[in-house]
Amino acid sequence: MIVYRLTLSKYAYDLTGSGGLYAAGRCNRKGIPVIYAAQHASLALAEVLVHLELPEVPLDYVLVTIETPDQVPVRRVMPEEALAVSANPPAPVFLVPSVVVPQELNVVMYPEVAGFMARVVKVEPFHIDERLLGYGENQ
Cβ(27)–Cβ(94) below 8 Å: yes
Question: How far apart, in Å, do the first and last CA atoms of the chain sit?
Answer: 38
Q: CA-based Rg of the chain, rounded to a whole angstrom?
A: 15
Strand (E) or helix (H) holding 139? none
Q: What is the pLDDT of residues 39-94, one digit of tens each?
A: 999 999 999 888 776 666 667 899 999 999 999 999 999 999 999 999 999 999 99
Predicted TM-score (pTM) of this structure:
0.90
**Residue 124 scores a pLDDT above 90:** yes
Q: What is the pLDDT of residues 83-113, one digit of tens each?
A: 999 999 999 999 999 999 999 999 999 999 9
Domain boundaries, the chain: 2-133
Give pLDDT, residue 56.
Answer: 64
Alpha helices in the chain (DSSP H): 19-22, 41-49, 79-84
Put the strands of the sheet holding 61-67 in their side by side order.
Answer: 74-76, 93-97, 105-109, 35-38, 2-8, 61-67, 119-125
